[in-house]
Amino acid sequence: MGRRVLDESDVRSRPSRRGTRPRTKQRPAHEDALDGMVTAVDRGRYTLLLDEDGPDERTVVAMKARELNRDRVVCGDRVDVVGDTSGDEGTLARIVRIGERRTVLRRTADDTDPYERIVVANADQLVIVTALAQPEPRTGFIDRSVVAAYVAGMGVLLCLTKADLASPDELRDLYEPLGVRVVVTQRQPDGSGVAGVDVLREAVAGRVSVLLGHSGVGKSTLVNALVPGTGRATGHVNDVTGRGRHTSTSAVALRLPVPDGGLAPGAHRGWVIDTPGIRSFGLAHVEVEDVLHAFEDLDAVAVERCPRGCTHLADAPDCALDAWVDEAPDDVTREARAARLASFRRLVEARASGERD
Ligand SMILES: Nc1nc2c(ncn2[C@@H]2O[C@H](COP(=O)(O)OP(=O)(O)OP(=O)(O)O)[C@@H](O)[C@H]2O)c(=O)[nH]1
């Protein structure tokens, strides 16, 4: 979906004045390369999983081959790797190619910074984890995350935690009109687990999901429930600020366990990518049209009927989206369309507001 947006890996060095040699001569073919998935990145060292769920499954540590230059390798990337791919202690393989990315989650450092960074590749959905209280939910953060996911070509799931402390109804009403699936969880009072996590488990099974949330919302509690044994540190919410300590530090892809009853042939367990490093999205690279493309129904109306240069905002003269609401065949449809349009406009404004999360 969406247009392809250029990023830092599209930058090509200028050909030398002595002319260019055919690429094939510059680059070895690496016919013996193996395919792996990047599960963690740490200061120039990449952790890869090879032969996932196959007989030779192994974890390999690799570095980037010089020929990749400034191309960034990120969590979730599929890469070709050569050299010592045994995975034995102390060995170091070489990443020689980055596979084409199905989706690319990006962010800028802030709205005034045009430099984009790819955060995670090939994820299917963004799971926005928001506490219903302690800390209070921030819709600006959710809106911006929804925009970032849609622009990335990813689906969105909103996971509302701590339902024992406050009702999820208001947030549900805000986000369901956008087509965002809402899952509600709460810790069992006796500490025996998290209610609602089964629904979340079903929603992440077989997919690659990025978990995003501010410190203290209960993200590590969820990750530990989904992927037992990973030992993601859980922190404590500060009684004064209502915010948590930043107890987790580096982004990592965690594989879901094999479900009870085993995997169907050809099925994947799925991954959750925990991203403690991302607390906000700058959206400087996002155009209104990028947001619109995520709403097929609105996009069709806008493309056909909006005046040239229409901002699609509430104060836009003759925006056809208002007419589309008015033309609804009945009250229920009108209400649904109005809610969807209002949500869309909120996202467009969240993009433009420059609000820091
Ligand atoms: N009341 C209530 N508290 C919860 C719930 N889930 C988690 N908590 C508590 O909230 C605090 C923060 O939970 P974490 O799982 O560490 O939160 P986190 O989002 O991973 O935060 P960082 O580790 O700081 O990134 C802990 O004290 C948890 O015990 C819940 O459903 N209800």
Q: Are residues 133 and 74 in the same domain?
A: no
Q: Do 135 and 220 belong together in one domain?
A: yes
CA–CA distance, 337 with 335 (Å, rounded to integer)? 5
Query: Which atom of ligand 1 approaches the CA of 245 most closely?
Result: 24
Same domain, 265 and 162: yes
Is 113 part of any domain? Answer: yes
164 domain-assigned = yes
Strands 58-64, 104-108: pairing kind: unpaired
Domain C-terminal end among 219, 249, 274: 274
User: Any idea what the CATH number is for the domain that residue 254 is in?
Assistant: 3.40.50.300
Q: 228 in a domain, yes or no?
A: yes
* Best of 230, 234, 275 for a ligand 1 pocket test (most atoms within 8 Å of beta carbon): 234
Question: Is there a domain that residue 11 lies in?
Answer: no
Model pLDDT for residues 195-226, shown as the tens digit of each residue: 999 999 999 999 999 999 988 999 989 998 99
* 110 and 69 in a common domain: no
Total of domains in the chain: 3
pLDDT at 12 over 60: no
* pLDDT tens digits, one per residue of 230-275: 755 554 444 443 444 433 345 789 999 988 888 887 788 999 998 8
294 lies in a domain?
A: yes
Ligand 1 atom closest to Cα of residue 217: 19
Query: Is residue 309 domain-shared with residue 332, that is, in the same domain?
Result: yes
216 is an annotated ligand-binding site residue: yes
Instruction: Name the domain boundary from 64, 98, 132.
Output: 98
Same domain, 152 and 39: no
Give the domain range for residue 169. 104-274
ipTM value: 0.96
Token readout for 52 is 């996932």
For residues 264 and 343, membership in a common domain is answered with no
Atom 1, ligand 1: residue with shortest CA distance: 162
**Are 93 and 134 within one domain?**
no
Pocket test for ligand 1, best of 221, 238, 239, 241 (most atoms within 8 A of CB): 221
CA Rg, the chain, in Å?
22
What is the predicted pLDDT for the residue at 178? 82
Name residues contacting ligand 1 (CB within 6 A): 161-162, 164-165, 185-187, 213, 215-221, 233-237, 244-248, 276
Question: Does 129 lie in the same domain as 78?
Answer: no
**Contact call for residues 276 and 248 (beta carbons, < 8 A):** yes
Looking at the fold, whether 47 and 128 belong to one and the same domain comes out as no
- Domain boundary (239, 274, 309) is at 274
Looking at the CA of residue 236, tell me the nearest atom of ligand 1: 27
CA 111 to chain centre: 18
- Shared domain for 231 and 319, answered yes or no, is no
- The reply, when asked if residue 343 is annotated as ligand binding, is no
The rounded Å distance from CA 301 to ligand 1 centre is: 43
pTM of the model: 0.81
- 297 lies in the same domain as 154: no
Assess if residue 2 is contained within a domain.
no
Give me ligand 1 centre to Cα 187, in Å: 9
Which tokens hold the place of 283? Answer: 């959206």
- Other Cβ atoms less than 10 A from the Cβ of 74: the count is 20
